[in-house]
C-alpha cells in the first residue's frame, strides 16, 4: 500500500509558468518535507512542516512556496520555474523531527522547457 504518494510523477512546464506538485500521505505523520534532487546529487531540503508550522531552509529561493492544508496533503508551488529548477522533487514524512525514519514518496520529475 502506497504510504507517501506524489502526483504527478512527471511534470513538464514552460519557463516562467507556475507549477504545483502534490504530496499526500496515509501515515498520519506530523512532519512533511520537500527535497530537491538534481542529477547525481544528494537531496537538498527545501522546507518542512511540523503539523502546521512551516520551516523554510535559509537558502531556499523565494520562488519556492509550500502549503499544507491538512495533515495528509502538502503542496510545492514553484511560482516562476527557471531552467535550473529542473530536478526530481521528493516528498517525505516522519512522525517527528529529530532522529526518526523518513518515508519518501516516489518523486516528481520536473522538466522546464
Partner 1 sequence: KNEVEQSPQNLTAQEGEFITINCSYSVGISALHWLQQHPGGGIVSLFMLSSGKKKHGRLIATINIQEKHSSLHITASHPRDSAVYICAVTPGGYGGSQGNLIFGKGTKLSVKP
| Smallest separation (angstroms) from partner 1 to the CB of 69 | 21
| Smallest separation (angstroms) from partner 1 to the CB of 24 | 14
Binding site for partner 1 (CB under 8 A): 4, 6, 31, 33, 41-43, 45, 48, 55, 57, 90, 92, 94, 96-107, 109
* Pick from 63, 57, 56: nearest CA to 20: 63
Q: What value, to the nearest 5°, has the Cα angle with vertex 54 and ends 15 and 1?
A: 80
* Pick from 33, 21, 22, 24: nearest CA to 1: 24
| Smallest separation (angstroms) from partner 1 to the CB of 48 | 6
Amino acid at each position: 500500500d502506497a504510504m507517501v504518494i506524489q502526483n504527478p510523477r512527471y511534470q513538464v512546464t514552460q519557463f516562467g509558468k507556475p507549477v504545483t506538485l502534490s504530496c499526500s500521505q496515509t501515515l498520519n505523520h506530523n512532519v512533511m518535507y520537500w527535497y530537491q534532487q538534481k542529477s547525481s546529487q544528494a537531496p537538498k531540503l527545501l522546507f518542512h512542516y511540523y503539523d502546521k508550522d512551516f520551516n523554510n531552509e535559509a537558502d531556499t529561493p523565494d520562488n519556492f512556496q509550500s502549503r499544507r492544508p491538512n495533515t495528509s496533503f502538502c503542496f510545492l508551488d514553484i511560482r516562476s520555474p527557471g531552467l535550473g529548477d529542473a530536478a526530481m522533487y521528493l516528498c517525505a514524512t516522519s512522525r517527528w523531527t529529530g532522529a526518526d525514519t523518513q518515508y519518501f514518496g516516489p518523486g516528481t520529475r520536473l522538466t522546464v522547457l
